[in-house]
Amino acid sequence: MDAFFLQILNGLDKGGAYALIALGLTIIFGTLGVVNFAHGALFMMGAFCAVTVKALLGLESVREDPTQMTAWGTPVEIREPYVETWFGDFGTFLLDFSVPVSILVALPIMLFIGIAMERGLIRYFYKRPHAEQILVTFGLAIVLQEIVKSIFGANPIPQPAPDVARGMIDFGVSIGFDAGNVVYPAWRLIYFLFSLAVIGAVFAFLQFTTFGMVVRAGMADRETVGLLGIDIDRRFTIVFGIAAVVAGLAGAMYTPILSPDYHMGMDFLVLSFVVVVVGGMGSLGGAVAAGFLLGVLQSFASMNEVKAILPGIDQIIIYLIAVVILLVRPRGLMGRKGVMEH
């Protein structure tokens, strides 16, 4: 039972990442009618926001201390990050919390990137066929990831979680299991809660603001909303920006779990697209539910007990489920009629 429970937990952080990316994809698709293959690249760029913030915070002053000598007879170099020199303990705190801090930086940057992308490229593709949308955003994704690669190199860059969140939480105790049975890395739990918070915020935004109402109306019936004389264009831009922010934050916070490299976006994109399709193109709830569902199933499939019965199942489980669901429920779990049927 606890092993079962642990697997559910294991899947939730990954599921959270899938859900956040899929949510953005669905919003973009539902309102703008654009299939965005560059969405994984946004996730990756969010992750590299965290890398950049860490690197900037880590800039050090180098000072020689003549009173101490190394074994080679040169003065000992004392390195001290500028932030610590300037802010003292607060600086140390900033360094330690570079990943959460990077959220504050990633937010405006991703908003800007999203808006620039929509204004500069995507808006010209609203009326073009889906195949062309896929292809142009696919090209953009390659360009973005190659730029990141040329700046940051091809190797994964590990990002530590803050010290307090680096340990394990004996999660089982608090819900009635024996101590030591359900032990779980704290950051993963934080990531899961974080993804819930972001998802909640997005839903609240769509549910309770006038802007969100228009967006939802646009998802239900784009043409009619356009006819109402509402300035759809400006809203589309903002919607795209929001989706970019959601993907970016998902990426930034994910860095302690998976060291970011330039192609992480593509890896997640393929899976997230499968998630969107499984959830049902155009259904926000479907995207979120399918994200968590597939994350958890993936973690079950990687249990040794399961692999013993079905070797290799962990490699293909997501795709297999996508195939089965698409064949049994053509519009995905919660898809609506008339979306992407032609």
Partner 1 sequence: MKQLFSLERKDVILLVCFTAAVFAGPILMKPLGAGYPDLLQKFAIFGIFALGFNILFGLTGYLSFGHAAFLGVGSYTAVWTFKLLSMNPVPAIIFATVIGGLFSAVIGFISLRRTGIYFSILTLAFAQMSYNLAYSVLTPITNGETGLQLNQADPRVLDIAFGRDYGAVLPSSDLFGIDMTGWPGFYFCATMLIICFFIALRIFRSPFGMMLRAIKSNQNRMMYTGFNTRPYALAAFVISGMYAGLAGGLMAVTDPLAGAERMQWTASGEVVLMTILGGAGTLLGPVIGAGAIKYFENIFSAYNDGILQEAFSFLPEGLQHVFVSVSSLFVGEGWHLTLGALFMLIVIFLPGGLMEGIRRIQVLISNRFGSGGGGADAKSNPAPAE
Give the binding site for partner 1 (CB under 8 A): 35, 121, 124, 128, 130-132, 134-136, 138-143, 146-147, 149-150, 266, 270, 273-274, 277, 281, 311-312, 315-316, 318-320, 322-323, 326-327, 330, 340-342
CB of 225 to partner 1, least distance (A): 22
Residues 325, 318: Cα–Cα separation, whole Å? 11
Q: For the chain, how many residues are written?
A: 342
User: Which of 192, 268 has the CB closer to partner 1?
Assistant: 268
CB of 247 to partner 1, least distance (A): 19
269 alpha carbon, distance to own chain's centre: 10
CB of 181 to partner 1, least distance (A): 30
CB of 261 to partner 1, least distance (A): 14
User: Which of 73, 311 has the CB closer to partner 1?
Assistant: 311
Q: For residue 302, what are the contacts with CB-CB under 8 A and spacing of at least 6?
A: 314
Which contiguous run of DSSP H or E holds residue 64? strand 60-69
CB of 99 to partner 1, least distance (A): 28
User: Which of 49, 294 has the CB closer to partner 1?
Assistant: 294
User: Which of 112, 319 has the CB closer to partner 1?
Assistant: 319
* Whole-number Cα distances in Å, 251 to 174, 194, 268, 269, 308: 29, 12, 10, 12, 33
Q: What are 185's strand-pairing partners?
A: 168
CB of 280 to partner 1, least distance (A): 11
CB of 4 to partner 1, least distance (A): 24
User: Which of 105, 340 has the CB closer to partner 1?
Assistant: 340
Residues 51, 63: Cα–Cα separation, whole Å? 25
Q: How many CB atoms lie within 10 A of CB 315?
A: 13
User: Which of 10, 137 has the CB closer to partner 1?
Assistant: 137
Residues 247, 24: Cα–Cα separation, whole Å? 7
User: Which of 189, 270 has the CB closer to partner 1?
Assistant: 270
Give 3-state DSSP helix, strand, coil % of the chain, rounded to 5.
Answer: 70, 5, 25
Q: For residue 329, what are the contacts with CB-CB under 8 A and spacing of at least 6?
A: 335
Three-state DSSP class for residue 139:
helix
